[in-house]
Structure 1
Amino acid sequence: MTIVLYDLPSKAKGNAWSPAAWKVRYVLNFKGIPYKTEWVEYPDIENLWKKLGIAHTSLKADGRPHYTVPAIYDPSTGVYLSESLQIAEYLEKTYPDTPIFPHNTLGLQWPFNDVFTSNLSSLWNFITPAICWKLNPTSEVYFRATREESFGQTMENLFPKGDAAVAEWAKLREALGKVDVLYSKTSGPYLMGDTLSWADIVVAGYLTMIKVIFGEDSQEWRNISTWHDGRWKKCIDNLKKYETVV
């Protein structure tokens, strides 16, 4: 039976851009689990999730439930589930072949998403406006309103320019260097040597977002893809056979 992956559409090449959804897509493709993507615009998520019985993943600042993409529906078990790591853990338990937490490493890999994203703080002022500009009109209106309220300024003003941009890119390069050190300690292309695992999928999910949102031919991605001896381009290239969007 075919799993349904709920994801956010865009005007970007290939449509798929959400790093959280990319993580789940990589897992599904890696495990060879049949699935199809259903695209959901930002303003439609909450009502659809309530209708389907998909739980919220967190609480907003005012205490209201926060409903997020990705989510899946597995018709073989009747399970609806959201949040990428919870989905990954479910898929690992339900479809254990081709493990993404090999050698009982779930406990070690569980916090890696937070560790990795803590090194991306300099990215958000660039990528948030860029995401806004790549969304379809109905999602762009929603995204702009919620993010401008959160950041306290327009998307156009948020995007760093001039010397500020140079400084922020330098900070991001330095921060990613900490992750590059982890990769340099292994004997293969992945954090577990020759074994692909969840941690590599986390890294690839965020890098794929950057490449898709800015564009493969953009100066931003061309720069990042050369950092640390081409480490970040290699991270995506190593998972290329698992990036099919269906």
Structure 2
Amino acid sequence: MSQPLITLYDVPASIPQPWAPNIWRVRFILNFKRLHYRTVWIEFSDVEATLRSINAPPTAYRSDGRPIYSLPVIVDSLRSRSHPTVLSNANIIAEYLEVTYPARPIFPDGSRAVQSLFVHYIQEVFAKPLLPILVPLTHQVLPERSQAHFRGAGAGVQLTGAQREQAWRAVKEQFDFLASILDKNNGADGNGVVVMGNDVSYADFALCSVLIWIERVSPHDGWARVRQWNNDRWVRLWNKCKDYMDVL
């Protein structure tokens, strides 16, 4: 019999490697903890129907009470084939994987609250200036059906040259600020690259997931810029995390 697996649901694209940062946060954890998993690819237009069919919990609710279904989602059959655990929301999944599979922890002792706050900052503040740049570029690399799913929502609207440069200046302000904070770790691992000072953790995976998004959808513009910022700090973080970038 084949070994039971954790199934990770992700969205396909025309580029060779996956791009979605919230899903990468989960993939990093699965790879770091050396858990057996597989990826199932579903287009955006099929997400709600697919997640309903596996009884995945909604990630939010609209003002009228209708549920919203989104990725990442995992189905964990490693512990029980007959009663698999189905979870949505990257942070909920991270907490579950840490508690259920405590070997190779992503939350060093006493760091859970601080890391949770850091990840919230990455998602709600740090990454926000990237949206007008990367969302249209991401739209371009989606399959046609998924592109059609987002038409009319402004996803395909490209910035002009001046608008793009202004947007990148706002992005760099966030990177510069974060670099100044992480520089306070200098002396811990010799260069202050990782958030917790010595070993990679969930906070680093959340941050590196944003770097992957930039590199996947804007390798010659966005990543070419970012990799040169802050004394190559972001390339060094990438290298710290690259052993956990497998796609299974």
Same fold (TM over 0.5): yes
Cα deviation, residue 185, structure 1: 1.2
The residue type paired with residue 9 of structure 2 is: Y
Partner residue, 1:222: 224
Q: Does the CA-based 8 Å contact 1:10-1:135 persist in structure 2?
A: yes
Cα deviation, residue 63, structure 1: 3.8
Q: RMSD in angstroms over aligned alpha carbons? A: 1.4
Q: Does the CA-based 8 Å contact 1:182-1:191 persist in structure 2?
A: no
The residue type paired with residue 106 of structure 1 is: R
d(CA) in 2 for partners of 1:93, 1:144: 40
d(CA) in 2 for partners of 1:199, 1:193: 11
Cα deviation, residue 12, structure 1: 1.2
Matching of residues 108-127 of structure 1 within 5 Å: 108-117=114-123, 118-127=125-134
Matching of residues 79-158 of structure 1 within 5 Å: 79-117=85-123, 118-145=125-152, 147-148=153-154, 155-156=156-157
Partner residue, 1:151: none
Partner residue, 1:212: 216
Partner residue, 2:69: 67
2:11 to 3, 8, 12: 8
Matching of residues 38-53 of structure 1 within 5 Å: 38-53=40-55
Q: Does the CA-based 8 Å contact 2:11-2:43 persist in structure 1?
A: yes
Cα deviation, residue 121, structure 1: 2.4
More helix by share: 1
The residue type paired with residue 10 of structure 1 is: A
Cα deviation, residue 222, structure 1: 0.5
The superposition leaves residues 170-229 of structure 1 with CA deviations (integer Å, 9 ceiling, x where unpaired) of 1110111111122211122311111111110100111101111113xx122111111111
Pair 1:179 & 2:181 matched: no
The superposition leaves residues 12-45 of structure 1 with CA deviations (integer Å, 9 ceiling, x where unpaired) of 122x111011000000000000100000110111
- Which range moved further: 55-64 or 28-37? 55-64
Cα deviation, residue 138, structure 1: 1.0
Q: Does the CA-based 8 Å contact 1:30-1:242 persist in structure 2?
A: yes
Q: Does the CA-based 8 Å contact 2:118-2:203 persist in structure 1?
A: yes
The superposition leaves residues 86-109 of structure 1 with CA deviations (integer Å, 9 ceiling, x where unpaired) of 001000000000000111321221
Percent of aligned positions that are identical:
30
Q: Which ranges of structure 2 fall in alignment gaps of 5 or more residues?
A: none
Question: In structure 2, the residue corresponding to 1:231 is in which secondary structure?
Answer: helix
Q: Which ranges of structure 1 fall in alignment gaps of 5 or more residues?
A: 149-153
Partner residue, 1:27: 29
Q: Does the CA-based 8 Å contact 2:127-2:210 persist in structure 1?
A: no
2:196 to 192, 196, 208: 192
The residue type paired with residue 43 of structure 1 is: S
Q: Does the CA-based 8 Å contact 1:116-1:179 persist in structure 2?
A: no
Query: Which 4+ residue blocks in structure 1 deviate beyond 6 angstroms?
Result: none
The residue type paired with residue 224 of structure 1 is: V
Cα deviation, residue 164, structure 1: 2.1
Cα deviation, residue 62, structure 1: 4.7
Question: In structure 2, the residue corresponding to 1:110 is in which secondary structure?
Answer: helix
Question: In structure 1, the residue corresponding to 2:228 is in which secondary structure?
Answer: helix
- Which range moved further: 58-67 or 107-116? 58-67
Partner residue, 2:206: 202
Aligned length in residues: 235
Partner residue, 1:237: 239
d(CA) in 2 for partners of 1:69, 1:61: 20
